[in-house]
Amino acid sequence: MPEHEDSWTRLWNGRWLGGVPEPLREPAAWGLLLGAVALVAMAGFAPWADARGAAYLEASFARTLAALAATRGLDSAISLAQSSEISFSLGPGGSLGIGQALDPINDLVEQYGALLLTSTTALGVQRLGLQISRALGWWLLLPAALAIGAAATTTGPRRQAVFGWVRRLFAVALFARLAIPTAACLDELVTTRFLESGYQEASAAVASTTERLEAVEADQPKQPWYERFNPVEYVGDRAQRLYETVGSVGESIVNLAIYFTISTIVLPLGTLWLLARLGSAVVSTRDP
């Protein structure tokens, strides 16, 4: 173990750079080693992560907008059913509403629509962050490079303190450049593996419910006049069809809300937090 530590120390102290003046060996070693890490991360990993992360964010954004449009359609169908009523004359006359029991479902749909707007905003922020980090690119490493240059002009404990800042600035630069695309790639893996099937089933259920509600409304003019003007039978039959149609959509909406909350808000924040903790753990280790 001591031999391993001695080799590691010699690597960072630059003792293997025999052709470099001794005062500059350590800064040169730091520059070469960190430059090699930066080259692999920025030129090798970053383009792949950018492409895959951007594709996932674009697909998630399009999916969220499609879900928002489907929610608007379902909300319109439920609102139309709620507004339906029939007037009849029995003595003083009156009316029977047949959609009032749909209020809880309608409220749930509206809350789900608000959640989708929040998810769209979250995805927009992630897309912007990805574009900014990609545009800055190598410039994020400039502070660490300047700190290495400053270390070359100092000696003793002050130089070691500067090298501590070099490591911190380098870790921050890599995090700022790679965190969002890396988080998007990890989010895609988790979403596809654990959440995709539930999303497909719930989304199909919402679309089917909207179509069935519209079919119920379209079928009403086809009823014989004596059924349409019999308030008890008319209201009872239509109400039963409406309640059967929306009976299970509430669970599907809840499942969709869980899906979008996890995939667009919880997972990105959680992944970024884990990456930040990992970077902090690396930076907090003792200097080489």
Q: How confident is the model over 38-53, as pLDDT tens digits?
A: 999 999 999 999 999 9
Pick the more confident residue, 8 or 53.
53
| The pLDDT of residue 12 | 84
Those residues with Cβ within 8 angstroms of residue 153's Cβ, 6 or more apart along the chain or in another chain: none
User: What pLDDT, on a 0 to 100 scale, did the predictor assign at position 238?
Assistant: 61
Whether residue 219 has pLDDT greater than 60: no
- Does residue 113 carry a pLDDT above 70? yes
At 130 the pLDDT is: 96
pLDDT of residue 143: 95
pLDDT tens for 144-194 read 999 999 999 998 889 989 999 999 999 999 999 999 999 999 999 999 999
Let me know if residue 214 belongs to a domain: yes
Q: 177: buried, middle or exposed (CB in 10 Å: 19+, 13-18, 0-12)?
A: buried
**Least reliable range by pLDDT among 104-108, 144-148, 263-267:** 104-108
> With contact defined as beta carbons under 8 Å apart, do 134 and 182 qualify?
no
Answer yes or no: is 22 within a domain. no
Q: What is the pLDDT of residue 19?
A: 82
Compare 214 and 239 and report the one with higher pLDDT.
Answer: 214
The reported pLDDT for the residue numbered 78 is: 81
By C-alpha distance, which of 116, 242, 134, 234 is closest to 178? Answer: 134
> Which residues form the domain of 250?
49-84+94-284
Q: pLDDT tier at 262 (50, 70, 90 boundaries)? A: very high
Of the pLDDT bands very low, low, confident and very high (cuts 50, 70, 90), residue 264 is very high
Whose structure tokens read 């003083």? 92
Cβ atoms 71, 216 nearer than 8 A: no
> How far, in whole angstroms, is CA 147 from its chain's centroid?
35
Q: How much is the pLDDT for 104?
A: 79
Q: Is the pLDDT reported for residue 1 higher than 50?
A: no
pLDDT recorded at residue 10 = 77
- Asked if residue 87 has pLDDT above 70, the reply is no
55 has pLDDT over 70: yes
Looking at the structure of the chain, the number of domains it has is 1
Q: What is the mean pLDDT of the chain?
A: 83
Q: What angle do CA 18, 23, 24 make, to 5 degrees?
A: 70
Is 106 among the domain residues?
Answer: yes
pTM: 0.82
Give the mean model confidence (pLDDT) for residues 111-115.
Answer: 94
Q: What is the length of the chain?
A: 288
pLDDT at 201 over 90: yes
Contact 144, 173 (CB under 8 A): yes
pLDDT value at residue 86? 47
Q: Is 20 left (phi over 0), alpha (psi -120 to 50) or beta?
A: beta
Better-predicted residue by pLDDT, 79 or 34: 34
Alpha carbon of residue 23 to chain centroid: 48
Establish if 10 belongs to a structural domain: no
Q: Specify if 198 maps to a domain.
A: yes
Cα 101 to Cα 99: distance, rounded to the nearest angstrom: 5
Per the structure block, which two tokens stand in for 176?
Answer: 């700022």
How large is the average pLDDT for residues 16-45?
91
Would you say residue 270 lies in a domain?
yes
Task: Determine, yes or no, domain membership for 37.
Answer: no
CA distances from 79 to 187, 232, 285 (A): 36, 22, 60
**pLDDT > 70: percent of the chain:** 79
Q: Is 27 among the domain residues?
A: no
